[in-house]
């Protein structure tokens, strides 16, 4: 099954997990204390986040800590930045058109 970052952040629990581990790496147990959901449910969310490359595992002794992949988060912003540029470009053209029309009216 294909995983993508947008699928990852579409879920509110996963967004909350991202917000928590953005501050510091955490174990699944520590994470589940912040939610009403079961430990299994948190593990499932962590698996999806890992498959999307948004979080990575770090083994410390017997414990696994999850931490954020900052580069992947930046990728999301880059997608959005491309959309922004399409609108900027489009509107700059509208500026030129409005100017042209107004100048013709003044003649």
Partner 1 sequence: MKNNLLFEFLTDKEKNTLTIKREFLAGRQLVWDAHTKSELLDRWFAPSPLTTKTKSMNFSAGGHWIYAMVEPNGIEYWGRLDYVTIYPIDSYTALDAFCNNEGEINPDLPRANWEVTFSDLGSNALVQTVVTYQSLSDLEKVIQMGMQEGMTSTLERLDDLLLTLNQ
Which residues here bind partner 1, judged by CB under 8 A? 4-7, 9-10, 12, 15, 79-80, 82-99, 101-102
Taking the complex as a whole, how short is the minimal distance between the CB of residue 16 and partner 1, in angstroms?
A: 11
If the CB atoms of residues 60 and 83 are measured against partner 1, the closer one turns out to be: 83
If the CB atoms of residues 59 and 91 are measured against partner 1, the closer one turns out to be: 91
If the CB atoms of residues 15 and 39 are measured against partner 1, the closer one turns out to be: 15
Contact present, 66 and 25 (Cβ < 8 Å): yes
Taking the complex as a whole, how short is the minimal distance between the CB of residue 6 and partner 1, in angstroms?
A: 4
If the CB atoms of residues 62 and 90 are measured against partner 1, the closer one turns out to be: 90
Contact present, 57 and 31 (Cβ < 8 Å): no
- HSE-CB of 2 using CA atoms within 13 angstroms: 2
Main-chain dihedrals φ then ψ at residue 58, nearest 5 degrees: -135, 120
H helix count then E strand count, the chain? 5, 2
Taking the complex as a whole, how short is the minimal distance between the CB of residue 74 and partner 1, in angstroms?
A: 14
> What does the chain come to in residues?
107
């Amino acid at each position: 099954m294909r995983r993508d970052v947008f699928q990852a952040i579409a879920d509110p629990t996963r967004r909350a997990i991202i917000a928590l581990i953005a501050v510091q790496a955490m174990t699944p147990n520590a994470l589940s204390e912040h939610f009403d959901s079961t430990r299994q449910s948190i593990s499932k969310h962590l698996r999806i986040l890992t498959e999307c490359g948004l979080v990575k595992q770090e083994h410390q002794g017997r414990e696994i800590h999850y931490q954020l992949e900052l580069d992947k988060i930046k990728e999301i912003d880059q997608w959005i930045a491309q959309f922004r540029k399409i609108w900027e470009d489009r509107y700059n053209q509208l500026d030129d058109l409005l100017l042209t029309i107004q100048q013709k009216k003044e003649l």
